[in-house]
Amino acid sequence: MTVEEYSSEIIRLILSMTFTGSIISSLLFILKPIIKDRLPKSFQYYMWFSAVIGLMLPVSKILRIPVSDASIVPMKSMYDIVLRISDTASEKPVNLVFAPRQITCLPSAAAILYIFWQIGMVLALGFHILCYGFYIRKLGRHNLSANQQETELVNDLSEGKMALRLYKNALVKTPILIGFFRPSVILPDKKYGDMELRNILMHEMTHRKRHDIFVKWLLIFVGAVHWFNPLVHFVRREMNKACELACDESVIKRLDRKGMQQYGDTLIAVAADSIRKMPLSVTMFEDKKNLKERLGAIMKHKKYPKRTVITASIVLVTIVCVILGTSALHGTSRHDYMDNFSLQDQMQIREGKLKEAIRNYDKENNLAALVSINYLDSGEITNAYIYIISHGENPDSEILSGIKALASKELELDIQNIYLECI
Residue 160: what pLDDT? Answer: 59
| Cross-sheet strand order for the sheet of 418-422 | 367-375, 381-390, 418-422
CATH fit for domain 73-106+342-423, picks 3.40.50.1100, 3.30.300.30, 3.30.930.10, 3.60.110.10: 3.30.300.30
Residue 285: what pLDDT? Answer: 57
For 97-115, write each residue's pLDDT tens digit: 433 434 344 456 778 888 9
Spatial contact of 286 and 267, defined as CB atoms under 8 Å apart: no
Beta carbons within 10 angstroms of residue 142's beta carbon: 14
For 214-260, write each residue's pLDDT tens digit: 999 999 999 999 999 999 999 999 998 999 899 989 888 888 888 88
If DSSP codes are grouped into helix, strand and coil, which group holds residue 174? coil
Q: Which DSSP string corresponds to 253-300?
A: TT--HHHHHHHHHHHHHHHHSPP---TT-EES-S-GGGHHHHHHHHHT
For 371-410, write each residue's pLDDT tens digit: 888 888 777 888 888 888 776 677 778 888 888 888 888 8
Say how far apart CA 237 and CA 240 lie, in whole Å: 5
The highest-confidence range among 100-114, 142-156, 157-171, 211-225, by mean pLDDT, is: 211-225
Beta carbons within 10 angstroms of residue 260's beta carbon: 17
Residue 226: what pLDDT? Answer: 94
Contacts of 255 (CB under 8 A, 6+ apart): 262, 263
Closest CA to 371 of 391, 392, 347, 390: 347
Residue 404: what pLDDT? Answer: 87
Phi and psi for 117 in degrees, rounded to 5? Answer: -65, -45
Residue 52: what pLDDT? Answer: 92
Spacing of C-alpha 402 from chain mean position: 42
For 269-298, write each residue's pLDDT tens digit: 887 665 555 555 666 655 566 777 787 777
- What type of residue is 230? P
For 43-69, write each residue's pLDDT tens digit: 999 999 999 999 988 765 655 444 444
Q: Are strands 184-188 and 367-375 parallel, antiparallel or unpaired?
A: unpaired
Closest CA to 367 of 99, 101, 98, 102: 98
- What type of residue is 135? Y
**What is the average per-residue pLDDT within 306-334?**
77
Residue 230: what pLDDT? Answer: 92
Residue 119: what pLDDT? Answer: 94
Higher pLDDT, 396 or 85: 396
Spatial contact of 65 and 332, defined as CB atoms under 8 Å apart: yes
pTM of the model: 0.66
**What is the average per-residue pLDDT within 4-14?**
80
Residue 12: what pLDDT? Answer: 84
Higher pLDDT, 141 or 81: 141
Residue 233: what pLDDT? Answer: 92
Taken as a whole, the chain contains a residue count of 423
Q: How confident is the model at residue 151 (pLDDT cuts 50, 70, 90)?
A: confident
Q: How far is CA 238 from CA 29, 32, 230, 243, in A?
A: 9, 10, 13, 8
pLDDT of 135 above 80: yes
Spatial contact of 395 and 367, defined as CB atoms under 8 Å apart: yes
* Low-confidence winner among 6-20, 48-62, 91-105, 156-170 (lowest mean pLDDT): 91-105
Closest CA to 343 of 371, 369, 381: 381
Q: How far is CA 392 from CA 77, 96, 336, 387, in A?
A: 26, 17, 39, 15
Residue 1: what pLDDT? Answer: 54
Say how far apart CA 39 and CA 45 lie, in whole Å: 10
Residue 152 Ramachandran class (φ > 0 left, ψ -120 to 50 alpha, else beta): alpha
* Low-confidence winner among 21-25, 211-215, 305-309 (lowest mean pLDDT): 305-309
**What is the average per-residue pLDDT within 18-41?**
90
Residue 75: what pLDDT? Answer: 43
pLDDT of 121 above 90: yes
- Average pLDDT over the chain, rounded to whole? 78
Domain spans in the chain, listed from the N-terminal domain onward: 73-106+342-423, 114-326
Say how far apart CA 340 and CA 225 lie, in whole Å: 30
pLDDT of 127 above 90: yes
